[in-house]
Amino acid sequence: MLKAVMCGGIVLLLLAACGSDQSTEEPLRLPEREKTWVKTEQVDITKDAALSPMDAPAINIPINDDLHDTLMKTSGPAPKSPIKDAASCLALLNPLDKTRMLVQREGGAWSMFERSALIRLHSNNGMQIDSNMNKLVFSLRHLCRTAQGVPQNELALKVNAVIDQMGKEKAREHYIDVVGEAPADVDLWLKHAEFSRKNVTRKVPYSEIQALILKTQPLIDLYKNLWDRKVDESNKDAFLSDSVTLLAVINHRLANEPRVVMAMKEDTEAPLQHRWEM
């Protein structure tokens, strides 16, 4: 019996010693996970991405003046029948959009720069080309779909219904005092509702949209042409110059073409709607 007790005591002492050693050890440190970055190619770009800021082409790459003039002045071939409705408008735009998506399925202009060490330093220009080309095409698509007016979204319909019932000032008080929304949010809703109400009846002649689509055809053609080029020392400078020239013309359209500017302003996300019981 005494022998068993002594053995048990020895075991307890050993366990206590082991526990004491473990408590003083440093926590187990696993190696940090390797930090990697992978570009995700998307054909359907999100709206937020489609509305990212425009940047100017890199100033250290000269623009091709002759190409710039050509892109600014030329248009694609006119359709056999002028567009007359949303369906025929989208039918004219769709081939351009398919070419855009074809290039972007393969990585887009960003990938054009990344695949060659000779021009990889300027990959940011490729990202801008992809982003701003998307903005331009999305704007044309918006114009095709809304040539006869822009339907109000759910938020605008709800807010305008309350405005029609109470008046603008009473509606503002209702959302702040009764619903409990922040004044800044309510002011955004009221501004958005007023903007949306005006756009319901705004018209854009299909002839203007057709002209914009045809003017975009040479830009899409160059976009695809740049993708097809294999860059080496002999054509590196020409590729860089042509690419920033394309970007410059796209940026000019986005900033100076009145219908495109209007479409970009209209085709934005509605302000966040916090409460659905309003």
Per-residue model confidence (pLDDT) at position 80: 93
Residues contacting 151, CB < 8 A, separation 6+: 200
Total-model pTM: 0.75
Q: Name the stretches of the chain with pLDDT < 50.
A: 1-59, 276-277
Domain range for 100 is 61-150+202-266
- Contact status, residue 200 vs residue 149, Cβ threshold 8 Å: yes
If asked whether residues 77 and 133 sit together in one domain, one would say yes
Are 219 and 135 part of one and the same domain? yes
Number of structural domains (the chain) is 2
On whether residue 18 sits in a domain, the answer given is: no
Pair 240, 228 in one domain: yes
Are residues 105 and 209 part of one domain?
A: yes
Q: Please state, in angstroms and as integers, the Cα–Cα distance from residue 244 to each residue in 102, 138, 233, following that order.
A: 21, 21, 18
Does one domain contain both 145 and 159? no
User: Are residues 259 and 161 part of one domain?
Assistant: no
Q: What angle do CA 122, 54, 242 make, to 5 degrees?
A: 45
Tell me: do 140 and 158 sit in the same domain: no
Structure tokens, 231 = 């860059």
With contact defined as beta carbons under 8 Å apart, do 142 and 97 qualify?
A: no
Residues 144 and 159 in one domain: no
